[in-house]
Amino acid sequence: MGGEKKKQALTDIGSLGEFGLIDHLTKGIKIRHPETLKGVGDDAAVIDQGDHVSILTKDLLIEGVHFDMVYTPLKHLGYKAIAVNLSDVYAMNGEPRQVFAGLAISTRYSLEALEELYAGMLLACDKYQVDFAGGDTTTSPSGLMISITAVGKAKREEVAYRSGAKPNDLLFVSGNLGAAYCGQLVLQREKQAFKANPQVQPDISKYPYVIERQLKPEPRRDIIRMLRDAGVKPTAMIDISDGLASEILHICKQSGTGAMIYEEKIPVDQRMAQVAHEFNIDPTTCALSGGEDYELLFTISQKDYDKVKDMTAIHPIGHITEAVQGENLFTSSGQLVKLTAQGWDPLKGETGSKE
């Protein structure tokens, strides 16, 4: 404050990465109340309410970082803003019940535009049967910011943490991976083409699947209900927002284990692989590092395998190992490679960077 300026070496946050930054800022946090069963460190916090637990999670979407108004319909954006939060509640094996929306809006947005945003948010609330219970509204000096908080509910013993995986547990993913990233690539390419020549209409009609996966993800309520109905509780679970590799590393770090996955088992959709090839990217790279698929990655005990083996919506991709073995990918060409997470670069600041 005022006075002479002291010279101090300041640390560039880009050097820590997103998770390093969160770890650094939150490492001194002490939990004061016994009902706070889980604070920072999972897809959502877990609060004991006596006969059940509450599950709380928050995500922030910023124009120009997470979405680009050139190609994001506001109704889709509203839907996605809710969907990605519900995904974190399902990733704890809970059922979402309420959402709150904090909006910072630039005056560039019309009432009609915001009505579209709300139509999308309310559509997601309707589909997933959650109550839109409040929020906050303010102006933004530039662009739109959407912060959603979701509240869910579960039985205490049902909650699936990232930390519960044990050696020999089987690793599963739902759906298929990499398509949301490929949708992003197509949308970015068409934006660049449009900027270069506004006469050229964007040609996205060839790629409806990957674009829908990017613009309108669906959280996997169906998967957690299917497992519950089959009497299977995942030993650990996380949703895939940052790419398969990053999420496997989270489960292993929190569980104190390693993991082995097999490239040929990673579920990829042909429509995704086709786009990846067009962009000269390996489809496996899209699945491992693409992110925003909002599928579930979970582990189950081997004893439960028979109960899930005929479920076509989930795919075994490997198993959990002892920590000393690390996290490895056995490639289709027979090589063993270490799994690494692509870093988050806050300086990149471009649409499509990870949350």
- H helices within the chain, ranges in order? 17-26, 74-90, 111-127, 179-196, 208-215, 221-229, 244-255, 270-278, 283-289, 305-308
Residue 352 in contact with residue 261, Cβ under 8 Å?
A: no
d(CA 301, CA 236): 10
Strand pairing class (131-139; 95-105) = parallel
Q: How far is the CB of 249 from ligand ADP (least distance, A)?
A: 12
Contact between 299 and ligand ADP per CB under 6 A: no
Contact between 295 and ligand ADP per CB under 6 A: no
3-state secondary structure at position 332: coil
Q: How far is the CB of 209 from ligand ADP (least distance, A)?
A: 24
Binding test (CB under 6 A) with ligand ADP, winner from 46, 53, 54, 59: 59
Residue 114 carries which side chain, given as an amino acid letter?
A: L
What tokens appear for 224 in the block? 């957690």
Q: Which is nearer to Mg ion, 63 or 293 (CB)?
A: 293
Residue 62 in contact with residue 143, Cβ under 8 Å?
A: yes
Q: Which residue is nearest to Mg ion (CB)?
A: 43
Binding test (CB under 6 A) with ligand ADP, winner from 42, 169, 263, 327: 42
Residue 111 carries which side chain, given as an amino acid letter?
A: L
Q: Which of residues 190-249 bind ligand ADP (CB under 6 A)?
A: 241
Q: Which residues bind Mg ion (CB under 5 A)?
A: 43, 88, 239
Q: Which partner in Mg ion, ligand ADP, none is near 143 (CB below 5 to 8 A by kind)?
A: none
Binding test (CB under 6 A) with ligand ADP, winner from 20, 26, 168, 340: 26
Q: Which residue is nearest to ligand ADP (CB)?
A: 43
Site of tokens 């089959």 = 230
Q: Which of 85, 112, 102 is nearest to 140 (CA)?
A: 102
- CB under 6 A: which stretch of 38-46, 147-155, 202-210, 226-234 binds ligand ADP? 38-46
Contact between 40 and ligand ADP per CB under 6 A: yes
The DSSP output letter for 225 is H
- CB under 6 A: which stretch of 18-26, 101-109, 177-185, 208-216 binds ligand ADP? 18-26
Interface positions with ligand ADP (CB under 6 A): 22, 25-26, 40-43, 59, 88, 241, 355
